[in-house]
Amino acid sequence: MAVMNMVDALNSALDNELERDPRVVVLGEDVGRDGGVFRVTQSLLKKYGELRVVDTPLAESAIVGASLGMSLNGLKPVAEVQFDGFTYATFDQLFSHVARMRTRTRGRFTAPLVVRFPYGGLVRALEHHSESPEAFFCHFPGLKVVAPSSPYEAKGLLIAAIRDPDPVIFMEPKRLYRAIKEDVPETPYIIPLGEARVVQEGSDVTIVSYGSMLQSCLEAVKLVAGAASCEVIDLRTLTPWDERTVIDSVGKTGRLVIVHEAPRNCGLGGEIAATIQQKCFYKLSAPIARVTSWDIITPLPKMETRHFPSVSRIAKAIIETATLQ
């Protein structure tokens, strides 16, 4: 055990897997000599050499396209895209090929690759550096999508993602990179994909979130502790998401608040609400609420706290949902 922040934990996961499995390759812009702009890949180049820790030219689409090729010929590439806003260039490769390879060869070829990138706002970043593109990846069949919410979670989920036989989009909440420290084993361990985690039990209202917003939810829950007993669920895997755990919880509470950083329209919150209203129709005592960023272009840092869900906005939604008769 060691005390790690999320960057350390992710680095440890990569280190473990590079060591364990000679087929694992880490690639991306500045992941080698520089150790990654957030230092997630720090010191890996020295340890594993430049064939396995690969500084690529600046071309996200080719990074993912080449990763697919690598994965078809025996490697397990873990590609880094430097920031959320630069993943759009990878969509063509992801949707046209990565997600389809297993289907298109009837299982002869598969794409056991990981694309990881820092996502989300509230770190006063430049334009295009504060996006939450999860819904895009979730909408396209064939990809798995993961977003951890703490250092311990990050390591276990990343190792699971690397060992997964399917392509996994791994979204790292950059706001949490250095914000939380906790005990994390130095040896490898796995948190299975597809299983949500009940972070806190409660009886009045269910809160579903993931990634960096989970921490905001926990703060909000503390704020409203006197007024509402909250059950907080960390989704962890966004596709396939753990319907069972959410259904069970809503079965108990009858109320649901979903919180994410992405814009509302066609976001993952819509999918969860649509699914739960259908499967828990007779159990719901109040409309399902979504707390999200607005359906606008992410504003520059001066106004970002007015855009992304704040603790107070979340708290307000919890109280409203919990108390509605």
Partner 1 sequence: MVFRSLARFSVNYLQVLDEHGQIDARHAPKLTPALVKHAFDAMVLGRAFDETALALQREGRLLTYGPGKGEEAAHAGSALALRKGDWIVPSFRENTAYLARGYPPELLFEYWMGDERGQKMPKEHKMLPVAVPVSTQIPHAVGIAYAAKLLKKNEVVLTYFGDGATSKGDFYEALNFAGVFRLPVIFACINNQYAISLPRERQSAARTLAQKAIAAGIDSIQVDGNDVFACYRATQQAVERARKGEPTLIEFYTYRMGDHTTSDEASRYRSAKEVARWAKRDPISRLSKYALGKKLWNKQHEQKIWKLARKRISDAVAKAEAIGTQPIEDIFAYTYSQPTPRLREQLEEARKEAV
Which residues of this chain interact with ligand TPP, rule CB under 6 A?
A: 29, 58, 60, 82, 86
Residue of 186, 101, 173 lying closest to 133 (CA atoms): 173
Q: How far, CA to CA in Å, does 11 sit from each of 8, 160, 213?
A: 5, 14, 22
When asked if residue 201 is in the footprint of partner 1 (CB under 8 A), the reply is no
When asked if residue 303 is in the footprint of a second copy (CB under 8 A), the reply is no
Stretch (H or E) spanning 179:
none
Beta bridge partner(s), residue 80: 28, 116
d(CA 80, CA 102): 22
Q: How far, CA to CA in Å, does 106 sit from each of 66, 102, 109, 144?
A: 21, 6, 8, 18
Which of 43, 47, 312, 323 is close enough to bind partner 1 by CB under 8 A?
312
When asked if residue 288 is in the footprint of a second copy (CB under 8 A), the reply is yes
x/- string (CB under 8 A) for partner 1, residues 110-139? x-------------xxxxxx----------
Residue of 245, 145, 236 lying closest to 190 (CA atoms): 236
x/- string (CB under 8 A) for a second copy, residues 70-109? ---------------x--xx-xx--xx--xx--xx-----
Strands 2-4 and 182-184: antiparallel
Residue 160 contacts which entry, a second copy, partner 1, ligand TPP, none (Cβ below 5-8 A, type-dependent)? none
Q: Which is nearer to partner 1, 109 or 189 (CB)?
A: 109
Which residues of this protein are in contact with a second copy, per CB under 8 A?
85, 88-89, 91-92, 95-96, 99-100, 103-104, 127-128, 135-136, 138-142, 239, 262-263, 265-271, 273-275, 277-279, 281, 284, 286-290, 294-297
